[in-house]
Amino acid sequence: MPPIAATATTYSAHANDRQRSTSLSESNLIPPTLVEIDGQPVNVRNLSHAVTSIIARLSHPGSFLVCTLNLDHLVKLRKSGQLRQAYARAEIITPDGFPIVKLGDLRGCRLERTTGADLIEPLCAIATQRRLPIFLIGSTFAVLSKSARRLLTSHIDLEIAGVYAPSQSFSVQSAEADEAIDVIRRSGARLCFLALGAPLQELFGLRAVDETFGVAFLPIGAGLDFLAGAQVRCPSWLQSMNLEWAWRLTRDPRRLWLRYFRCAVLFAMLLSKETIRRSGRSREL
């Protein structure tokens, strides 16, 4: 694996963020909102749209955050002001999970499930072609090393600018986070995959976009664990049946049952709300 680059990189001032965001929207580098789910926008339709949008956005200065909207995030968004800030700053938001796709369909917007883990391989393929260095942060050093080797096997000329395995006490405002951001900034990376778990990865990305320049921060959850074989991803045939939640629940019920219960309650509420809305529109017609 190539050593961590030591090239210094400057970053834009926070005061210019709003002006930059407006100019990016006007230049179509930030995709327009396709649909709102529980007040949160989704602005890419599928994996291909997400990848092309991320690469197009990299052609313009400034770091940016990608978010993958799912039911667990919607539950957390209702309680966390910081996570709402992260989503408000995110320039690309994908539909992550069957419930988001279903709710989009009910609003007349056809979406396809696009998770953070799904983004890794196609983005690394383009990064190899365009010589865009990547950075891996999260999980453990063993997982990062195995993931890096796996990616270099699939993409021989891929440049891995660096990896960073934080401690279990890692937090967004810690000295360790200061160090991580400094390493990312100096590495010259253009794509930074965040495998820190939600909402830590989104909150770290929110901070990092203000302290780096020209980096796409991509929360990917367990994506690196899947690559390294540290976790087994749900088989594709179960994913196609929208049963990945059941797969995960059976493998870790003690940790996940309450999370999925809350997600199920919110999904039922949103479906009911959408049914009432559609019924009201039908009566008006």
Q: What is the pLDDT along the chain (285 residues), one digit of tens a residue?
A: 433 333 333 333 333 444 455 556 545 678 999 999 999 999 999 999 999 999 999 999 999 999 999 999 999 999 999 999 999 999 999 999 999 999 999 999 999 999 999 999 999 999 999 999 999 999 999 999 999 999 999 999 999 999 999 999 999 999 999 999 999 999 999 999 999 999 999 999 999 999 999 999 999 999 999 999 998 887 788 787 777 887 788 888 888 889 999 999 999 999 999 888 877 666 665
Query: Looking at residue 247, what is its pLDDT?
Result: 79
> 103 and 155: one domain?
yes
Query: Looking at residue 227, what is its pLDDT?
Result: 95
> 48 and 149: one domain?
yes
In a domain, 239, yes or no: no
Total number of domains constituting the chain? 2
Query: Looking at residue 254, what is its pLDDT?
Result: 87
Instruction: State the pTM of this model.
Output: 0.88
> 156 and 272: one domain?
no
In a domain, 119, yes or no: yes
In a domain, 6, yes or no: no
> 129 and 191: one domain?
yes
- 254: domain range? 244-284
Find out whether 188 and 9 touch, Cβ atoms under 8 Å: yes
For residue 138, report the phi and psi dihedrals to the nearest 5 degrees: 125, 180
In a domain, 236, yes or no: no
Query: Looking at residue 192, what is its pLDDT?
Result: 98
According to DSSP, the β-strands at 40-42 and 35-37 are antiparallel
> 271 and 172: one domain?
no
In a domain, 197, yes or no: yes
Query: Looking at residue 5, what is its pLDDT?
Result: 34
Query: Looking at residue 282, what is its pLDDT?
Result: 61
Q: Which two tokens stand for residue 187?
A: 């590495």
Q: Which two tokens stand for residue 186?
A: 């100096």
According to DSSP, the β-strands at 160-164 and 191-195 are unpaired
In a domain, 3, yes or no: no
Report CA-CA distances (Å) from 164 to 127, 224, 240, 262, 265.
19, 12, 33, 32, 37
